[in-house]
Amino acid sequence: MQERRIRTDRVPRHVAIIMDGNGRWAEARGLERNEGHWAGLESVRAVVRAAHEIGIGVLTLFAFSSENWSRPKGEVQELMRLLDHYIEEELDEVMRNGIRVLTLGRLDRIPPNTRKKVEDAVARSAENREMILVFAVSYGGRSEIVDAARKLMRDAEAGKLDPERLDEKTFAAYLYQPELPDPDLLIRTGDESRVSNFLLWQIAYTEIYTTDLMWPDFRKGHLVDAILDYQSRERRFGLTSAQVGSGRGGGRTEPV
């Protein structure tokens, strides 16, 4: 078998993942949907470890959307328990690997115990520099934009911001985590090709990769597949191919 190599000079700086398909994975096995969520936790563990090994700078995982609050109560509770459990079980390894934890979303809606755990993890890991792991929880892209607009309007009202001087850079500074780079690669599992209200502002020029694998089946090799696919693409950002030159071919590679 040909060895698959990731070009080390073009590792995506920021990878975001819509972890979809837990419910269908479970249903296909005659299990409860919640068992699919627990199985998906193994994929989270594996992918965080793999992202760190590959040298990805920021990994953002869509764990729970604003719309997911409308799911059956038992499922919502279980998903919150799962987040709680992940932090409890994995924080030591996260700390050992120098990973910084951040969140994205309206955390005020999540149960106080879980919220406290998540906030402690964010605080404890604040000085870590190896990789940033972002959990999008209670997150909606439109809400993020509306929340940004609200803060911005308040600053304009207070005379801190001149509407005439508003530009994209100023607007982006009002988003939830303005210091993070935009994702280079967005992966969606679960055989769907939609964005489902994830990072609407930030994915303007993100490369999108979808797979029919359900999230609980996703492992390091699949992350490598997505990165190799990403590395075969030419990102033009609206320019012509001649303008950007070919970033493909050559370059240093590393066995995976």
What are the phi and psi torsion angles at 181 (to 5°)? -70, 155
24 binds, among Mg ion, ligand IPE, none (CB under 5 to 8 A by kind): ligand IPE
Counting contacts by CB under 6 A, is residue 43 touching ligand IPE? no
Task: Compute the least distance from the CB of residue 232 to ligand IPE, in Å.
Answer: 26
Q: Is residue 20 annotated as part of the catalytic site, yes or no? A: yes
Cβ neighbourhood burial of 85 (10 Å; 0-12, 13-18, 19+): middle
Largest CA distance in the chain: 64
Of 17-46, binders to Mg ion (CB under 5 A) are 20
Under the binding rule (CB under 6 A), the answer on residue 114 touching ligand IPE is: no
Give least dist CB 236 to ligand IPE, A. 28
The angle subtended at Cα 110 by Cα 56 and Cα 16, nearest 5°, is 20
Q: Minimum distance from CB of 21 to ligand IPE (Å)?
A: 4
Contacts of residue 108, Cβ cutoff 8 Å, sequence gap at least 6: 115
- Element containing residue 15 per DSSP (H, E): strand 14-18
Is the CB of residue 124 less than 8 Å from the CB of residue 116? no
CA 126/CA 91 separation, integer angstroms: 13
| Per CB under 6 A, 226 contacts ligand IPE | no
How many residues sit close enough to Mg ion to count as binding (CB under 5 A)?
Answer: 1
Nearer to ligand IPE by C-beta: 24 or 220? 24
Q: How many residues are given for the chain?
A: 256
Closer residue to ligand IPE in complex, CB, 12/140: 140
- DSSP letter string, 20-50: --HHHHHHTTT--HHHHHHHHHHHHHHHHHH
Does the annotation count 197 as an active-site position? no
Give the Cα separation of 136 and 142 in Å (integer).
14
Print the binding letters for residues 174-193 with ligand IPE: x by CB under 6 A, - otherwise: ----------------x-x-
Instruction: Please report, as residue ranges, which positions from 16 to 35 form the binding site for ligand IPE (by CB under 6 A).
Output: 18-24
Cα–Cα distance between 38 and 36 in angstroms, integer? 5
Please count the residues of this chain forming the interface with ligand IPE, following the rule CB under 6 A: 19
| Least Å from the CB of residue 95 to ligand IPE | 25
Interface pattern 72-111 for ligand IPE (x via CB under 6 A): -------x--------------------------------
**Torsion of the alpha carbons at 144, 171, 131 and 11, rounded to the nearest 10:** 110
Q: Among the options 34, 68, 97, 197, which is catalytic?
A: 68
| Residue 135 touches ligand IPE, criterion: CB under 6 A | no
Residue with tokens 């955390």: 107
Residues of this chain that interact with Mg ion (CB under 5 A) are: 20
Residues of this chain that interact with ligand IPE (CB under 6 A) are: 18-24, 62-65, 67-68, 79, 190, 192, 194, 196, 215
Which residues belong to the active site?
A: 20, 68
